[in-house]
Structure 1
Amino acid sequence: MAVSKKRRGGLAASSAVADDFLIQLEQATRGLLALNVSVLERMEKRIGLAPLRALQSLERLGPSMVTELGDDLELLSSTASRLSDRLADAGYITRSVSPANRRATLLELTDAGRAVLDDLETLRVQAFGEVAALMSDVDRAALVQGTRAFTDAHRELSDRARQDRMGPVPTRAEDARGSA
């Protein structure tokens, strides 16, 4: 989204401050994004981005139905099913009949699928380490604090979007109790 310096209709000064912040944020995160893209390009030689996102989703969700994976990735059930077929054929997940609903397919990460995610994490940690070594302790602490806050806000926004699509998102405690 392009942010125009020109204002129409007399928008409040706070909007200009917000725009300036967003421009600064976009510029400040370019290094993080470039690092992440570089790592993903290296991973893409092994596994495509869509399958990688599916593995990350299953890691976050835990054992899930094909429809849950599709909902999480905003895919049609048929697309999620084909994607899970490819992941199962590659040995990254298992597909089994759900014990709760014999007509549904349950998906779970295998050790090979976890290894892909571990490799991704290792590559990111190595890349972050190279950059962080050039930063002061104060800057590293500030970066961690700011990115944690950003990640928490992003997760909340994602949960809201998912809730708008699917209804309330159970908390981890509710998941453990089996209540809604």
Structure 2
Amino acid sequence: MVAGPSEIMIVADAHAEPDFIAADMLSQAEHGSGLEQAVLVTDSSELPEKVIAAIRAQTEKLSRHETVERVLSKGVFLIVSKDMTEALRIAGRYAPEHLELMFEGAEKRAVEVKAAGAIFLGPWTPEPVGDFTAGPSHVLPTAGTARFFHGLSAADFMRRSSIVNYSREALLREAGAIEKFAEMEGLDAHGKSATVRKKGF
């Protein structure tokens, strides 16, 4: 898993509160590397301007405003999608570390997101809830790696082994499939290890 500079993507509609969006984008911008990303995807052509105004107003009051300014100059992206379906598709392809969904029906549509480190639903679930109180992993994949990794958990530090136990009948039932796969992969000995067991033992 790659855990790099923090990133947040917020998918929001015209009803979302610009001050909430701005605050949540800034919460990730303040981490300090200067490489953080804060992305808004919306189907509203008016919302980005409102969010920009809210970001400007809130940044001045932050204790780490100089750090935040570096991110704002190169790590903030505002995308207007044609609809929420496209917005969710963009989110899945970007595979953000943190994804907030602030639009009507987000609870039902969250399953459409193909990849994200953690998903925060609705206006009352800002990303810092995940950092400090709700309990999902705080070590999440970044840089699009949520497409194939999940957040760090205790299971990542445990050794797991599969234990497989077939009966004679079960093996005889599946021997043909084993032989076919072995043939397709050019692994004769794999196939023969099933075939030899079919011979009247």
TM-score normalised over the length of structure 1: 0.26
Higher relative contact order (Cα pairs below 8 Å, separated by 6+ residues):
2
State which structure, 1 or 2, has the greater radius of gyration over its C-alpha atoms.
2
Q: Per residue, is there more strand in 1 or in 2?
A: 2
Between Structure 1 and Structure 2, which shows a larger proportion of helix residues?
A: 1
TM-score, scaled relative to structure 2 = 0.24
